[in-house]
Amino acid sequence: MTRLGSVAANSWGVSHTAVDLVRPIVTPRPVSLPATPQTLTFDLARSAIIVIDMQNDFCHPDGWLASIGVDIAPARAPIEPLAALLPALRRNGVPVIWLNWGNRSDRLNLPPSLLHVYDPAGQGNGLGAALGGEDRHVLEHGSWNAAIVDELSPEPSDIHVAKYRMSGFWDTPLESILRNLRCDTLLFAGVNSDQCVLSTLTDAACIGYDCIMLDDCAATTSPGFCADATRYNVRQCYGAVATGADLITALT
């Protein structure tokens, strides 16, 4: 029989005369690491990492946040830990999913409530606003602004999903991709930890995924108490908090 499916773990066996719906058995690859509230063991073979919004508008000195006076130093803090962790995960067969804010140029799927968050006085300096050259429009898909920062060069095997809300599950194919990958456990990284990371993680937990926030690979430009509250809420209600550094140690 020929295997039919976009990924081996979720494929059928097919021939001219028969269809075999039994998926291949995936050998578990457990790994354990320190975490709060408890030490964790999870299966690398049923996991993926979601890296959220590590893009120029949030993390580059010439990006949108810096242009409106935000100190982006915290948003750049996950770059080095992620640069160390992602190759280790790829070597262990863990899918890397880049979940980047990248709006349509016409913003037709964005309601006024969302536009108001970033342009409260209607001055035209929010989502889609021109920021320099012709290819620079705030968080617009295909623009320099929405591109991943140069220090975190993706590999061809990585998966890219554009999002349009704080959570990456609304109006995107993220959940369909995760189902097709046969994932149970999701590692979360990126910015801002108290906004887009937490929103996506919360939705993931609510639909049944095991969620782990990697604290050294996530950060926020919000005040420190926001990061503290995020860590508390994740470990109290939605999953666990660990570090990429400890995961690298566990993988080696």
Average pLDDT (140-149) is 96
pTM: predicted TM-score of the whole model, two decimal places: 0.96
Q: What are the Cα distances from residue 22, in Å, to 48, 55, 78?
A: 23, 40, 40
Q: Which residue out of 183, 196, 211, 217 is catalytically annotated?
A: 196
Q: Which residue out of 57, 163, 194, 215 is catalytically annotated?
A: 163
CA 122 to chain centre: 29
- What domains does the chain contain, in order, with CATH numbers? 25-104+148-251 (3.40.50.850)
Q: Is the pLDDT of residue 84 over 80?
A: yes
**pLDDT, position 81:** 98
* Strands of the sheet with 19-20, listed across from one edge: 2-4, 12-14, 19-20
pLDDT band at 123 (very low <50, low <70, confident <90, very high): confident
Question: Which residue's structure tokens are 């930890």?
Answer: 193
> Can 53 be counted among the known catalytic residues?
yes
Q: Is the pLDDT of residue 152 over 80?
A: yes
Q: Is the pLDDT of residue 133 over 80?
A: no
Average pLDDT (25-45) is 97
**pLDDT, position 48:** 98
Phi-psi bin for 190: left (phi > 0), alpha (psi -120 to 50), beta?
Answer: left
Q: Is the pLDDT of residue 54 over 90?
A: yes
CA 72 to chain centre: 19
Average pLDDT (176-190) is 98
Lowest mean pLDDT among 43-52, 131-140, 188-197: 131-140
> Can 163 be counted among the known catalytic residues?
yes
**pLDDT, position 89:** 98
Q: Which residue out of 53, 57, 203, 210 is catalytically annotated?
A: 53
pLDDT in tens, 64-81: 999 999 999 999 999 999
Q: Using alpha carbons only, what angle is made at residue 52 by residues 44 and 210, rounded to the nearest 5 degrees? A: 40
> Can 206 be counted among the known catalytic residues?
no
Average pLDDT (223-229) is 98
Q: Is the pLDDT of residue 154 over 80?
A: yes
